[in-house]
Structure 1
Amino acid sequence: MSKTLFVFSDDFGELVLLRLLLYKQPLHAYLALPERLFPHVTLNNVTKVLYKNESELKAFTEEVLPDKVMLFSAYLLAPNGMLTYTEFYDFLDYLDRKNIPISTSDPFMRYYDELDYEVDSQDSFFRIRNKLKQIGERLKGYTHVYGVPVNLKNVKSQSFSNPNKLKDFTNAENITKTWTFVLAQQDYNLLRADSDNTYHKIIESVVILLTKVHNIKVNLVFPKALIAQIKQNLGELKGISYVPYCTLNEFEHLIVASDLMLYWNIFSASTLLCRLYNKPTVYLGMGHMEAFYPGFYSYIKHSWFPDNEPEIMAINDAFIPSLIKRIYTTDSKSKDPKLHQPYYQLESPIEILAVQKTFEL
């Protein structure tokens, strides 16, 4: 098996792809991680180092002497500030000069190929899109790796899945009914702006009903500031677990122990783990990707949702009673297809990690 070096941006979603690539695979990988992600990786078949700049990346590359490098994601290393744009392009040139094959994950699924440059726009979103489109043009010659089925015209792409679970939970019984809510910082920023900073009150009302009226335990995987605000307003209300940060392994255990997962982002990478465990999943919003890049959902839905389009649920008086009725059923054949998106059967991780020649157009 080839020796693979992974270089990470600071996006937590990339850790889900890492878990699906490496879990229970007969290999050892090397990870270069920024400070934000470093403590969240607990896989036992990796060697990880902290990096802060291009020089440290090059030094680690010289130490490891990898057969291939996987950038998770090349599209985010410069935009998210791990490297400057100059450093990023220089690092790609450095790897090319050493003839090290490069692959990249791609949360945008080459959506920038569909967009025109807006060179005169003063809108910050358009400026970011222009930068990402430039990155996309530079990355065309490298293999793009996805955790969903993708078939791109102008670049070589590979899609993979990993059926291995933490253990067999098929017959496990949850003594306590548990719902887990997941809200990322970017999505909360949008919700807060749209509600004049009062959206937390909607969440609080739902939590009170679930815990006090329906005796359902609630996990809140939220940004620290939102957790602090809810704690201040609700006090020591029983039945709530606040989760500002956790390792991916701990988060996966939350999924396993939950009867229902609820997201404000239909593109969240961790929903792939919900599919793996066949957990009913509710979407309370489209998420920041659709807000930043209108039309993105229509572009990717055939890959993310090939069988059933997701249902975006509104939080209203019927919200909780409707969900309780839909998920707590003993008839497995009547599982709601809108809540149970199937997991994929794609290439194996070993096939993805094999060294392949650079794709040439």
Structure 2
Amino acid sequence: MLAAECLHHSGYRPLFMLLDLLRWPLPRYRPDASRGHHGSDGYRNLYPFQQPRFVDLARWNWQRRRLKVAHRLQDIRRVEPDAAALTANRERPSYTWIGHASGLIQLAGVNLLLDPVWSPRASPVQWMGPKRLLPPAMALPDLPRIDVVMVTHNHYDHLDFPTLRRLAAQAGGSPLFVVPLGVGRTLLRAGAPAERIVELDWWQRHRHGAVELTLTPAQHWSKRWVWGDRNRALWGGFAVKGDGVQLWYPGDTGYHPELFARIAEHLGEVDLALLPIGAYQPRWFLAPQHINPDEAVEIFRILRPKRALAVHWGTFVLTDEPLHQPPLDLAEALRRHGIAPADFSVPALGETVWLDEPIRSEKP
């Protein structure tokens, strides 16, 4: 999303303005004065920071034009998912990393898809913008039928119109879409039926069958158009709980120890944390809104999940670090803190982690 955001303020701005006009009306914003993160003109972070300004985007865009970054795609491990096993699975809790933030969660007989993006670019158009360098680990038709789709916020690398349209039209009927406040209107334009959209505020819950979903706070922001919609849709992460197992994904977020201490206290025991480790350079610009691998380790230490997996990397060139770099920085952070790599591991693209299997944890 951030690289696409830069295009808004480049020579392509008139084109993006035209695209925005075609996607009006803007999201409605109905603040609840009793809730502190509902501001008069948009949602607020619990710990406010200076959000991206035109001058910041212009500075970053100018600096990155001179970068020559080599992406060693051969260093990113890939495996072929067992699509038949995933389709047949009705009992075993599992997580399959599809790429970037997209993942398939199977819990209590429910198939849940997190931030599904199958398009070649994280962009409002598919002929320019941040390009996917590695394909999704599974083709969309090869997935088991999806019961629930969770979207954490409206940036293009998390909310993808073409993918959502295809999911809404899946055989057997549309999945349920669970999203933060204000994101529902975007999904309506993507073809999701109104009766299949549930919007949540921070800490609100929704139960689907034997699974309970909770929207958790994050330090981020929202914007999808050139003007008029900044922070008019909420952002967050998701906790998913069922059959005595709890998974948590923080969504795009900056680091604040008090925020994650609050989340840890509220959630209690977490069996699997899906922690972002990519899209973090340069820090002068991205630190307030995207954690780096070292901060992901700090969150791991605060939350103390039974296990963590590294996600949100290795797919789109959104920021300045090479695609293969985040796991290297994570390994160094784990070594410094004496955390076993098996406890906070880097899955292969397409790998399925079966949560009912024991973890082999050895000190590095």
TM bracket, shorter-chain basis: 0.3 to 0.5
Give the TM-score normalised by the residue count of structure 1.
Answer: 0.34
Could you tell me the TM-score, scaled by structure 2's length? 0.34
* More helix per residue: 1
